[in-house]
């Protein structure tokens, strides 16, 4: 089958719409460099669009009716949006699900050290990173410090022009003989990912210390004591904004396209729905996908079915059996990024089953590895239905596998939601340099994802 490039299908109006979606996505990505920041930004955008907090409805036992727009956040790290449809939820709902956590380096609980005139934050990386990619580049700190008095300090240092940034060092090539002889996976190790945070000693009585200087700055400027790191979540991420890439500005280079590009395409789809849909529409933005969807904010937790149960009760559809029917009869796009074909690494791909940047939203019947192990293998009947909806909506789409057979693989949240018995297929945006500090996507694929997700929730 021939691959059709989405760019060639656009008229002036479509190009303008595409650029507008891209500009809003760039702003979302710059505002959301952690899962917590993504949840905050999602709530801000949703409230502007008239979404109300489901928790208030639950607390006040307030009735929910068709056309209501609701959001429900989980521990500040995951969030769901809903548009209540005309049909009972028991008949099934249409779901979009993505994740908002991205690979990074997390600051350890006991992070501070000093060596040879430098003060360091020790880190433990999060998700699948190639460690050698995270050195010798400007880094920013994002997160929260929770104090024992119940207060919380937001940390966001390194994004404004006047902010300082941070860095993990690398050895100069002149002295790199030992390192250059190693395998890439061993050239920079996990414990070498120590972030330089200061380099100026202060004198205190008879002792000189860079660490003491940092502690004084942390106390004076941020109100943070060394003890407070025990109850902090600080993520080290690449400093800087998402930028247009290429002379033709057709691409975006940014941190965390995996999977915030799909998360944002879902939000664009929901925010673009004005009419009351036939079926209830849900948008899930989950945490912890990059480490196995674990924990209370990962997709394996029960927050989605709990939220659905609460809504159904407030919608006059209370009861376990009705909830089970709703889940089983639901249809879902698990919206996560796919590996974009890279001519530099053509050997890792099987070309006719690869995702190409610019060829539209990508469907993966399965992910997994070594004989589809660990994948949700979507049903052919459902695929045909979804592709029909895409055709009807004028959506450019492609299908792909995650690289050559036995080359590697990966997973998404699809298999977890499929456990309810609902139809689920993976669908997302092709990414170059996935999990690198700076990942690349095509604006066309973001635009087609938004179109495809909207067509799905209204048309499936
Ligand atoms: Mn992902
Ligand atoms: Mn990933």
Looking at residue 207, its pLDDT comes to 87
38 contacts 260 by C-beta, under 8 angstroms: yes
Return the ligand number nearest the Cα of 99: 1
The ligand placed nearest to the CA atom of residue 428 is 1
pLDDT digits (tens, 9 = 90+) for 394-437: 999 999 998 899 888 888 999 999 999 999 999 999 999 999 99
User: Ligand 1 center to residue 289 CA distance, Å?
Assistant: 7
pLDDT given for residue 183 in this prediction: 97
- Residue 300 domain flag: yes
Q: Is the pLDDT assigned to residue 44 strictly greater than 80?
A: yes
Comparing C-alpha atoms, which of 451, 191, 428, 450 is closest to residue 289? 428
Residue 290: nearest ligand to its CA? 2
Between CA 234 and CA 158 the distance in angstroms is: 13
* 99 Cα–ligand 1 center, Å: 7
Both 200 and 293 in one domain: the answer is no
Q: What is the pLDDT of residue 292?
A: 95
The pLDDT of residue 205 is: 82
For residues 279 and 400, membership in a common domain is answered with yes
The reported pLDDT for the residue numbered 206 is 82
Question: Is the domain of 97 the same as that of 110?
Answer: no
Write the DSSP string, 156-172.
EESSSTTS--BB-----
Distance of alpha carbon 391 from alpha carbon 248, whole angstroms: 28
Mean residue pLDDT of the chain comes to 97
What's the pLDDT score for residue 409?
Answer: 85
368 has a pLDDT exceeding 90: no
Which CATH number covers residue 434?
A: 3.40.630.10
Provide the CATH number for the domain around residue 121: 2.30.250.10
Residue 336 Cα to ligand 2 middle (Å): 8
> Which one of the ligands is nearest to 129 CA?
2
By the 8 A CB rule, do 402 and 354 touch? no
CA of 97 to the centre of ligand 2 (A): 14
Distance 369 CA to ligand 2 centre (A): 14
Q: Is residue 1 part of a domain?
A: no
**Cα–ligand 2 centroid distance for 362 (angstroms):** 15
Residues 112 and 226 in one domain: yes
What pLDDT shows up at residue 62? 98
| Residue 149 within a domain | yes
For ligand 1, the distance from its centroid to the CA atom of residue 336, given in whole angstroms, is 5
Which among 207, 238, 269 is the end of a domain? 238
The ligand whose atoms approach the alpha carbon of 291 most closely is: 2
Based on the fold, state whether residues 266 and 187 are members of the same structural domain: no
What's the pLDDT score for residue 410?
A: 86
Residue range 348-357, pLDDT digits in tens:
999 999 999 9
Q: Of 174, 206, 238, which marks where a domain is finished?
A: 238
212 and 95: one domain? Answer: no
Dist. CA 107–CA 176, nearest whole Å:
27
Please give the average per-residue pLDDT across 43-65, as a whole number: 98
Residue 244 within any structural domain of the chain: no
For the record, the structure tokens of 307 come out as 């939220």
In a shared domain, residues 131 and 207: yes
The pLDDT of residue 125 = 98
Residue 160 is part of which domain span? 104-238
Q: How far is CA 238 from the centre of its chain?
A: 15
267 within domain boundaries: yes
Name residues with Cβ closer than 5 Å to ligand 2, which is an ion.
258
Q: Is residue 75 pLDDT above 80, yes or no?
A: yes
Number of alpha helices (DSSP H) and beta strands (DSSP E) in the chain: 12, 24
Quote the number of domains for the chain: 2
CA 290 / ligand 2 centre spacing (Å): 5
CA distances to 9, 349, 375, 444 from 396, rounded to whole Å, are 9, 21, 25, 9
- Kindly give, in sequence order, each residue whose CB lies less than 8 Å from that of residue 369, ignoring residues fewer than 6 positions away: 402, 406, 408, 409, 410
Per-residue confidence (pLDDT) for residue 2, from 0 to 100: 67
Phi (first) and psi of residue 447, to 5 degrees:
-65, -45
pLDDT category of residue 185 using cuts at 50, 70 and 90:
very high
- pLDDT tens figures, 236-294: 999 999 999 999 999 999 999 999 999 999 999 999 999 999 999 999 999 999 999 99
Residue-level pLDDT at 204: 81
- Nearest ligand to the CA of 103 is 2
User: Are 409 and 275 part of one and the same domain?
Assistant: yes
Distance 394 CA to ligand 2 centre (A): 28
Which ligand has its closest atom nearest to the C-alpha of 98? 1
Q: Is 402 found in the same domain as 335?
A: yes
In a domain, 246, yes or no: no
* 328 and 440 part of one domain: yes
Beta bridge partners of 124: 106
Tell me which of 238, 273, 290 is where a domain ends: 238
Let me know whether 194 and 272 are in one domain: no
What's the 46 CA to ligand 1 centre distance in angstroms?
A: 23
Q: Identify whether residues 94 and 139 lie together within a single domain.
A: no
Structure tokens at 378: 């979507």
CA of 337 to the centre of ligand 1 (A): 5
Regarding pTM above 0.95, the answer is yes
pLDDT over 70, % of the chain: 100
Looking at the domain assignment, is residue 245 inside a domain? no
pLDDT tens profile 305-329: 999 999 999 999 999 999 999 999 9
Distance 290 CA to ligand 1 centre (A): 7
Q: Cα–Cα–Cα angle for 288, 290, 296, nearest 5°?
A: 15
Residue 294 lies in a domain: yes
């Amino acid at each position: 089958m021939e691959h059709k490039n989405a760019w060639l299908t656009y008229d002036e109006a479509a190009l303008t719409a595409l650029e507008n979606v891209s500009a809003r996505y760039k702003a979302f990505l710059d505002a959301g460099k952690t899962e917590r920041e993504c949840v905050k930004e999602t709530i801000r955008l949703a409230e502007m669009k008239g979404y109300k907090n489901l928790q208030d409805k639950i607390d006040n036992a307030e009735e929910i009716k068709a056309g209501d727009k609701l959001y429900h956040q989980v521990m500040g790290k995951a969030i769901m949006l809903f548009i209540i449809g005309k049909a009972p939820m028991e008949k099934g709902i249409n779901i979009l699900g993505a994740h908002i956590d991205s690979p990074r380096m997390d600051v350890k609980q006991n992070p501070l050290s000093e060596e040879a005139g430098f003060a360091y934050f020790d880190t433990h990386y999060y998700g699948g990173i190639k460690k050698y990619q995270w050195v010798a580049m400007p880094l920013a700190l994002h997160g929260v410090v929770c104090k024992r008095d119940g207060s919380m300090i937001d940390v966001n240092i390194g994004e404004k022009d006047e902010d300082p940034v941070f860095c993990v060092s690398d050895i100069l090539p002149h002295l790199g003989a030992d390192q250059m002889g190693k395998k890439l996976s061993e050239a920079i190790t996990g414990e070498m990912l120590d972030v330089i945070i200061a380099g100026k000693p202060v004198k205190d009585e008879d002792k000189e210390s860079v660490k003491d200087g940092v502690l004084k700055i942390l106390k004076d400027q941020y109100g943070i004591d060394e003890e407070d790191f025990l109850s902090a979540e600080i993520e080290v991420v690449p400093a800087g904004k998402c930028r247009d890439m290429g002379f033709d500005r057709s691409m975006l280079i940014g941190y965390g396209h995996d999977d915030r590009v799909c998360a944002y395409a879902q939000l664009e789809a929901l925010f673009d729905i004005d009419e009351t849909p036939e079926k209830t529409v849900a948008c899930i933005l989950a945490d912890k996908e990059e480490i196995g969807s674990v924990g209370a904010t990962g997709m394996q937790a029960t927050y989605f079915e709990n939220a659905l149960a609460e809504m159904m009760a407030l919608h006059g559809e209370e009861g376990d059996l009705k909830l089970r029917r709703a889940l089983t009869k639901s249809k879902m796009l698990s919206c996560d990024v796919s590996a974009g074909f890279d001519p530099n690494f053509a050997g890792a791909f099987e070309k006719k089953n690869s995702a190409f940047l610019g060829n539209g939203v990508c469907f993966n019947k399965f992910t997994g590895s070594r004989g589809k192990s660990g994948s949700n293998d979507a049903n052919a009947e459902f695929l045909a239905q979804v592709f029909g909806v895409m055709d009807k909506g004028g959506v450019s789409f492609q299908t792909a596998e995650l690289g050559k057979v036995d080359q590697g693989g990966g997973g998404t949240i699809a298999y977890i939601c499929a456990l309810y018995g609902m139809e689920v297929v993976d669908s997302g945006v092709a990414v170059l340099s996935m999990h690198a500090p700076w990942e690349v996507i095509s604006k066309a694929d973001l635009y087609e994802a938004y179109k495809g997700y909207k067509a799905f929730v209204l048309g499936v």
